[in-house]
């Protein structure tokens, strides 16, 4: 998301479509959030990738604890779209649940 360290990977080859939400639960993992399966909604940003070559770059940036999967995203305003999301599959011992699903409310952007 804008204002967070990994956003730099999107600066070349992606354009912001808007904000939205996806079904799931959110974990605060300290330095970053993690989306897992669940019945709630998790807020985030949706980007259009201008080049498919950006996907492996994003995969490397996210790391081995995250798996890219397709999901149905509801954009603010109600439109729906299929999008790639990264689901967290790593250790959860130190993870803190974020019941409202909005990482910005827990850890505001610093950049």
CA distance linking residue 58 with residue 103, whole number of Å: 19
Domains belonging to the chain, first-starting first, are 5-94 (3.10.490.10)
* The predicted structure's pLDDT at residue 63: 93
Burial of 76: CB neighbours in 10 Å, binned 0-12, 13-18, 19+: exposed
* The predicted structure's pLDDT at residue 110: 76
CA distance linking residue 10 with residue 17, whole number of Å: 12
* The predicted structure's pLDDT at residue 98: 97
Whether 40 and 101 have beta carbons less than 8 Å apart is answered as yes
**Tens-binned pLDDT, residue by residue, of the chain (111 aa):** 877 777 878 877 899 999 999 999 999 998 899 999 999 999 999 999 998 889 999 999 999 999 999 999 999 999 999 999 999 999 999 999 999 999 999 988 876
């Amino acid at each position: 998301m804008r204002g967070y360290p990994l956003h730099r990977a999107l600066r070349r080859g992606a354009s912001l479509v808007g904000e939205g939400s996806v079904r799931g639960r959110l974990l605060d993992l300290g330095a970053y959030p993690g989306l897992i399966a669940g019945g709630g909604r998790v807020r985030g940003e949706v980007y259009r990738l201008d080049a498919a070559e950006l996907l492996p770059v994003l995969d490397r940036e996210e790391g081995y604890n995250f798996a890219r999967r397709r999901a149905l995203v509801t954009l603010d305003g109600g439109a729906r779209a299929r999008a790639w999301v990264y689901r967290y599959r790593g250790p959860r011992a130190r993870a803190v649940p974020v019941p409202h699903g909005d990482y910005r409310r827990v850890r505001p952007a610093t950049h």
